[in-house]
Amino acid sequence: MPEIVVLSGKGGTGKTSLTAAFAHLMHNGIVCDLDVDAPDLHILLAPQVQQEHAFISGVEARIAREHCTYCGRCEVMCRFEAIHQQGNNLAVNPLRCEGCGVCHVVCPSNAISLTQKHCGQWYESSSRFGPMVHAQLFPGEENSGRLVSVLKQQARETAKKNALDLILCDGSPGIGCPVISSLSGAHLAVLVVEPTPSGQHDFLRVADLCDHFHIPASIIINKADLNLAIAAAIENLCTERGYAVAGKLPFNMDITTAMIAKQAITETASPLGAMVVDAWENILIQLKNGARKRTLPL
Partner 1 sequence: MRIAIASGKGGAGKTTVSASLAQVWNTPAILVDADVEAPNLHLFCAPAITSSTSTFLEVPILDATACTQCGTCREVCRFMAFAKLGKTISLFPEMCHGCGGCIALCPEKALAPGQRLLGTLECGTAMGGKHAFLMGRSRIGEAMTPPQLRALQKKLELLLAQSKTTAQPYTDALIDAPPGVSCPAMTVAQEADIILLVVEPTPFGIHDFTLAHRAFLPLQKPIAVVMNRAGIPGNAGDMELAAYCQQQGLPILGLLPFSQEIAGHYAQGGIAATCSSTWEKHFTHLRDTLQAFAAKELANA
Partner 2 sequence: MSKIAISSEGPGLTSMVDPRFGRAGGFVVFDTANSATSYIDNGASQVLGQGAGIATAERMAEANVEIVLSGYVGPKAFQALQAAGIKICQNIDGMTTGDALHHFQAGNVPFAEAPNK
Spatial contact of 247 and 6, defined as CB atoms under 8 Å apart: no
Closest Cα to residue 7, out of 222, 288, 159?
222
Q: How far is the CB of 85 from partner 1 (least distance, A)?
A: 18
Stretch that binds partner 1, among 63-71, 153-161, 201-209, 242-250 (CB under 8 A): 201-209
Rg, Å, the chain Cα set: 22
Q: Which among 294, 297, 279, 296 is positioned nearest to 2, based on CA atoms? A: 294
The only residue of 3, 5, 6, 13 in contact with partner 1, by rule CB under 8 A? 13
Q: State how beta strands 130-137 and 188-193 pair.
A: unpaired
Contact 62, 99 (CB under 8 A): no
Does residue 196 belong to the site contacting partner 1 (CB under 8 A)?
yes
Q: Is 298 in the site for partner 2 (CB under 8 A)?
A: yes
How many angstroms separate the Cα of 68 from the Cα of each of 21, 213, 265, 276, 284? 57, 46, 59, 62, 60
Rule CB under 8 A: say whether 163 interacts with partner 2: no
Contact pick of 107, 150, 155, 284 for partner 2 (by CB under 8 A): 150
Residue of the chain from 177, 226, 277, 291 that contacts partner 2 (CB under 8 A): 177
Among 208, 233, 242, 271, binds partner 1 (CB under 8 A): 208
Q: In the chain, what's the furthest Cα-to-Cα distance?
A: 72
Residue 242 contacts partner 1 per CB under 8 A: no
Binding at 79: pick from partner 1, partner 2, none (beta carbon under 5-8 Å per type): partner 1
Instruction: By CB under 8 A, name the one of 148, 179, 231, 264 that touches partner 2.
Output: 148
In angstroms, give the least distance from the CB of 2 to partner 2. Answer: 12
The Cα–Cα gap between 171 and 236 comes to 25
How far lies 215's CA from each of 15, 160, 269, in Å?
18, 22, 34
Using CA atoms, how far apart are residues 118 and 227, in angstroms rounded to an integer? 45
* Binding of residue 150 to partner 1 (CB under 8 A): no
Q: List residues near partner 2 by CB under 8 A.
A: 57, 143, 145-150, 153, 177, 180-181, 184-185, 213-214, 294-298
Q: List residues near partner 1 by CB under 8 A.
A: 8-13, 16, 37-38, 40, 43-44, 59, 77, 79-80, 95-96, 98-102, 105-106, 137, 139-142, 144-145, 172-178, 180, 194-198, 201-202, 205, 208-209, 212-213, 223, 226-227, 230, 251, 253, 256-257, 259-260, 262
